Structures are given as C-alpha cells and as structure tokens.
C-alpha cells in the first residue's frame, strides 16, 4: 500500500496492527464522540487529533471499522443519471471564485426530540432556561451548504402546527433565519462582512416561500427551484443531508452506549438533537472533503489552504472524471433514431397523472 503524502515512511510498512494509543483515539472518535462517515473521514479526524506521524494508516482504520456492525450499512446500487455537473459560479467582475456564489439548502426529518424552551440560532444568545419553560417537540432540521468550499450550517426547523402532523411543513420563518445565520457565520469565517448569497438552490417546498421568499427578494438573491420531485436537481443539498443525518444517528448511538455503561434510568434517556446541532456543525465543517481535498472550515478562510481557486479547480477536475467520458447526442439504447428529437420522429407519448400531490410520469 503506498505511503500517504507528507508522512514519514519509517516503520509505516511494518505496522500491521493498531498501537494502544491509536486504538484509544479511534475508540474515542467512533464510540464515545460518535463521529460518523466513511473510513477516510474517520482517518482524517484521527490524523487531526494525533498528527501525521502518529496516526494509523487508512488500511488499519478500515479494518477497525469493519468490525463495527453498525458501520456495515446496506447500500443500494446507484443508477446512472444523465445529469450535468454542478460547477460553482465565479465573480463576473473579478473573474475569481467566491464563497456563497451558489448555495444549496434543504430540510429533512429526524426522530422527534423534546426540547425545553426556544432555540436561538445565534451563538451566545440563548438565555437560561427556566424550569417551567414550555417543552417543544422538534422533528425537522434545515441544512444550508456552500457548493464551493462545502461549508455547512444545520439548525432545527419548526413545523406549522395548524396542519396534521403527517402533512405539516416547516416554517418559512425558520428557513429564512437559517439562511441569515448561515450567511453571518460564513462572513465571520471568511472575514468578509460584505459576503452575500448570490444564488440559492432549493426544492418546491413551502418552507422556501412566504417569509423566506420575501427575504430573498429583498436581498436580491436569485432562487432556483427544482422541478417537482426530482431531487437529483439539488444533488449538493441531498448529499449533505445524507451525511448530516448519518452524523446525528451515530451521535445518538454514542449517547446510547454511554447510557448503557452508566446504567442511566430510562426516564433520563432523552436525546435532544436541538442541543447537538452546534456539535454536528463543527464535525461537518472539520471533516475532510475529498472533492476539494481539504476541510471546509479551512477552505472558507481566505488565508488557509485550499484557496478558493484551488477548490474550484479541484471540483472541475472531479467533474471531468465523472462526466468527461459521456457522449452527447448519441443514439439511445432501445430507441430508433438519434437522441435529439426532430419533426416526424417517432416517440413514446408521456401521460401525466394529475389529481392530488405531485404530477407523476407514467
């Protein structure tokens, strides 16, 4: 196995098992802290804590995770999709890439969590919660991600209680507040008070209308909405939602292991994901992203590596590997004639089923 770049080769090839120090850090990262992700994400987190020389190899980390039953998750085979690559935009004036030029956002459901008091998104703004404060039930999170540096912000989102619980939708006010807080945090990390969201990719959900739409219009933010139920159109948000949900699940399992070891009474075993959002945000932005070959928290800072230009170039290179070999206007298998339709070309007629919900194709 080749030696990782920047690491000493002394004793690396001869290391066939984990040292006690490496095993202790791995147990702390995976079992105690509940850090989730693939073996490369776990490897880079262990390397960040132990340093380049003392960290175990990728192979040893993979062998360690192979013994974990919850890590061996069933995955379906991904079907090939004829979609175009998503490339972040550059500043038309300076011709340089900038963060928040293209931002993707989405909401996702989590198991119900009971949280006492209200949730304030700004750090340090949460006052002491009184013992008689109202207990609220939270079920939804909103996630905002930048497509250039992969910087992520995740926050709980309220539901409209006027609807039935099975059909309730998130509040547009909390979606708007999440975008404002995401922009504020990005400005602090980038040390640029004028940083602004240029383009926002969202689905057709009601949480992006009403108050959120009023705010985006006032801020002169271009909003791009996906068509119907085609989630592949907002693939950046969907991928980060999957990663964030997995982070929450592993964090909950770490709490479960501590409850079992400490023999915590059942009445006190309450996992509040509202209080864990800041910790999950820190993990999401401290993990190494393969497409930019760096950490989002470092990439968004102007004096850190990788730079904005390096992030864009690496994204373009990754998209070339993924989509570079695809032919355009080639005949489709099982179809007569070319892929581009013309007059008098025989096609199958599309029938749309209407009435209730999103229109479906048959």
CB within 8 Å of 264: residues ≥ 6 apart: 258
User: What parts of the chain have a pLDDT lower than 50?
Assistant: 1-3, 6, 8-11, 125, 127-130, 162-164, 336, 359-362
Q: Cβ–Cβ contacts within 10 Å for residue 112, how many? A: 10
pLDDT value at residue 115: 78
Q: Is 100 left (phi over 0), alpha (psi -120 to 50) or beta?
A: left
Which strands make up the sheet holding 152-157, listed edge to edge?
A: 152-157, 135-146, 103-116, 199-202, 222-225
pLDDT value at residue 53: 87
Q: What does the alpha-carbon distance between residue 38 and residue 217 come to, in Å, rounded to a whole number?
A: 39
Largest Cα–Cα distance of the chain, in whole Å? 74
pLDDT value at residue 52: 87
As to burial, measured by CB atoms within 10 angstroms (0-12 exposed, 13-18 middle, 19+ buried), residue 146 is buried
Distances 169 to 205, 210, 233 between C-alpha atoms, Å:
8, 13, 21
pLDDT value at residue 297: 92
Q: With the C-alpha atoms ordered 127, 129, 133, 136, is the resulting torsion angle positive or negative?
A: positive
pLDDT value at residue 189: 93
Q: What does the alpha-carbon distance between residue 151 and residue 300 come to, in Å, rounded to a whole number?
A: 7
> What is the C-alpha R_g of the chain?
23
User: What's the CA angle centered on 74, arms 69 and 80, to 5 degrees?
Assistant: 150
**Backbone dihedral angles phi then psi of residue 157, each to the nearest 5 degrees:** -130, 135
Cis peptide before 306 (omega within 30 of 0): yes
Q: Calculate the CA 236 to chain-centre distance.
A: 8
pLDDT value at residue 1: 43
201 DSSP β-pair partners: 104, 224
pLDDT value at residue 164: 43
CA dihedral angle for residue 317, residue 322, residue 327, residue 328, rounded to 10 degrees = -80
């Amino acid at each position: 196995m080749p030696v990782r770049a920047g690491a000493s080769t002394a004793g690396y090839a001869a290391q066939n098992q984990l040292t006690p120090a490496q095993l202790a850090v791995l147990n702390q990262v995976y079992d105690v802290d509940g850090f989730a992700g693939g073996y490369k994400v776990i490897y880079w987190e262990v390397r960040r804590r132990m340093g380049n020389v003392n960290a175990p190899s990728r192979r040893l980390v993979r062998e360690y995770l192979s013994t974990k039953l919850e890590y061996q998750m069933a995955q379906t085979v991904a079907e090939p999709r004829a979609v175009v690559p998503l490339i972040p935009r550059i500043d038309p004036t300076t011709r340089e890439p900038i963060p928040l030029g293209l931002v993707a956002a989405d909401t996702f459901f989590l198991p119900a969590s009971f949280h006492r008091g209200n949730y304030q998104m700004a750090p340090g703004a949460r006052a002491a919660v009184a013992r008689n404060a109202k207990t609220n039930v939270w079920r939804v999170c909103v996630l905002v991600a930048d497509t250039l540096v992969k910087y992520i912000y995740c926050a709980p989102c309220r539901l409209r209680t006027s609807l039935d619980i099975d059909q309730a939708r998130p509040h547009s006010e909390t979606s708007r507040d999440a975008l404002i807080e995401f922009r504020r945090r990005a400005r602090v990390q980038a040390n640029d008070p004028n940083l602004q969201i240029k383009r926002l990719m969202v689905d057709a959900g009601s949480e992006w209308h009403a108050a959120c739409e009023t705010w985006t219009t006032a801020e002169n933010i271009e909003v791009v909405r996906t068509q119907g139920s085609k989630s592949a159109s907002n693939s950046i948000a969907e991928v980060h939602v999957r990663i964030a949900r997995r982070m929450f699940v592993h964090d909950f399992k770490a709490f479960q292991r501590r409850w079992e070891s400490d023999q915590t009474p059942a009445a006190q075993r309450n996992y509040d994901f509202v209080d864990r959002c800041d910790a999950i945000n820190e993990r999401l932005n401290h993990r190494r992203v393969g497409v930019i070959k760096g950490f989002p928290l470092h990439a968004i800072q102007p004096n850190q590596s990788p730079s904005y230009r390096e992030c864009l170039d690496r994204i373009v290179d990754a998209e070339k590997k993924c989509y570079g070999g695809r032919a355009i206007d080639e005949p489709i298998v099982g179809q007569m004639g070319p892929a581009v339709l013309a007059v008098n070309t025989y096609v199958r007629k599309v029938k749309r089923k209407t009435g209730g919900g999103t229109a479906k194709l048959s």
